[in-house]
Structure formats: C-alpha cells, structure tokens
Structure 1
Amino acid sequence: MRGHAVRAARKRVARQLCLLVAALALTVPVGLAAAPPAAAAAVGFPAVHVRTANLALSGQITGADEKIDITGSLSVTVVTRTNPGGGGTARIISALGPTTGVGRTTGGRYLFVGADSNVVAWPPDPVAPLIASPAFLQINPYVPPHPIVPPHPISFLKVGVVVSSDGEIDDIVALLNLIEDPDNP
C-alpha cells in the first residue's frame, strides 16, 4: 500500500516539474524578444513595429458619375522597419470593411470593396507624417436599362501615419478626399 502512495507522489512531482519547465520555456523566448529597439539596433538588427487601427469613414466624395455620401470602415495595419543608418520603411496595409455610398443626384447605392498595400520610406531626419493613397473598387449601381458596369478603381482617401525616428508608430488617421478625376487615382 505504501508503494502506491510513493509512486503517486513521484508522478505528482514529475507532473509539476514538467509544468514548471513548460512555463519557463514559454517565458524565456518572450523575454528575449522584448529587447529594447535601441539595443537591437546597436547590434545591427532593424527594429520592427506593428500597429493596427480600425477607423470609421463618413463624408462625401466625387465618384465616377456623381457626388456620393459614403459611410463605412477601414482597417489599417502599419509595419515599420528601421534601417541601421537611420530612417526606414513603412508598409501601410489598408482594407475596407463594409463601406457603402448613396448618390446625391440619382439616389443610387454604391459599394466600395478591396484592400491595398503601400510602402513608404522615411529619412533619418525628423519625420513628417507618412501619406499613402490606397486604391479600392467602386461598384456602380445597376439601374435598368443601363448595362452592368464592372468595378471602377478609385482612390478616395488618404491614410496618414505618424512615425518617430526610431520607427515607433504614434498615430494612424484616414481622411476622405474630394476626387476631381476618379480615373486617375
């Protein structure tokens, strides 16, 4: 009887030891990955920062045929990577959520869809906001007897990203812009 109690105690200790080793294995890589960017840059590794923002869109744009009141959302993910000598690049990935519009003249309903990726470089000097102009697709309303028109590429907003000189992402904004020539985004 005593042998069973000893074996059960050994199994319990072995299980606890395995859990402790697993917990340590999970925390050690996280501790190493959390090295400060300055220390990583000093060794010659680029610093990488990532930030995502979900932004509401609301306003008026000029579409292919008329002015359109637009509402919807935009998800923006920014990934910055510093260069060893200063400055770096930012990849700005913009994806529209459910975004629709109503024509001011016709009352027609429009749908806007798509995602775009832009790469913008910044110099080692003080950084001004980085600007990207993603292009999306405008799906025109089907109004009989007119034919169905294929999606129309349109660039109706600007995405601005404020990045510090070390690549840290401070702010992400999106502004609708009034388009004079929608065929030339």
Structure 2
Amino acid sequence: MQKKTDFYFTYPPNLQELDLATMVSMYRDRGEPRKAAPGKYLACAVTHKLLKEAKWWFGLYYSQAAWDELLTKGSEGYPLTEAELNLLGLVLSSETPPHREYVEKNIGTLPKLAYLIVNDIKQFGFLQEDEHGYLRITPRGERALQGISRRIYQKRFTAEMLVVYHESEELHRDDDQRNDQATLF
C-alpha cells in the first residue's frame, strides 16, 4: 500500500548505532521542550524558522505549532509513528489476542525500541496486557490507530498497511520465483 504523505513522526533509521542507555534516554526525552543557549537559536525541522524554544524529537526540533500539526487525530497528544501503527494494527487485526513477544518482533523496529513502545502505549491506555502477555487494543487505541492510518494512507486502517503483511507478501513472491526457476530445469 502506498503512503500518501511523510508528514508524521519517524524514528531515525540508524537507531541501531546507539547503545541502549542512549536510545532509552532519547526515547524518554522526545517531546520535551528545549531552550536554545543564550545567543543561540534552534531551527524547526518543518518550518525551518529559528526558535528560542522548541520540542525535541531524536535530535530534531519542532515549533509548538509544527509539533501540534504532526500529532494525529485520536492520538491524545502521543506522537505516533509507523511503529505504533504496526503495533496497534497488529493487535486489532489478529483473530485472537497476540502475545507481546510476537508483536514486538513484528512492528518494524528494533526489539529494544519495540519493548519501550509497547510499554508506553500500554501506559497511555491504548493497549491492555493480560497476566500471560496477550495484548488487546482499547477503544482509545482504535481511535489513535485510525488517526495515524488516515494521516499516512488517507484511509481507515486495513491489514495491508502492516509491515508484517508486506513481509509475508515478499516471502510468497520469493517462493513463487523459486518454484518458477525449479520448473525451468
């Protein structure tokens, strides 16, 4: 499925280069206001305007207005990315509640970051986890999922949006190619 915009929060593609302590610190500090040093300025990643104070996201700075625009409907102020779309969507689209380990492995991000995301999404009330580690989406989580789905794809959530869906499609394509090659010989 083709994305309609790239105007949403994203995690840096090279997070794997960070040690765990640095990644956790950066994750916990996202959205925190930062002030420029005296005589210095920060630049908004969206508007490119100079600012004395901005919200911080993994080394990028956003004006409050730009930050608010990046937040999606139903997110209740939580900065959602594709990883959260995959997390909430995987839980919603599963016939039976999926186990936390399965979800963490299939949301399209580093396992350590996936663990942090699941914990935060639970604390924010978008997911519930039972005593055996099985996850269920809450009505608040469904609204958040629809908001990020509409932002990225401009339509309601469907399973085709999930990274695990695309990975299984690629596996089937690879199998078909191998079968085609085998019949040539």
- Relative to the length of structure 1, the TM-score reads 0.20
More strand by share: 1
* RCO comparison, higher one (Cα < 8 Å, 6+): 2
State which structure, 1 or 2, has the greater radius of gyration over its C-alpha atoms: 1
More helix by share: 2
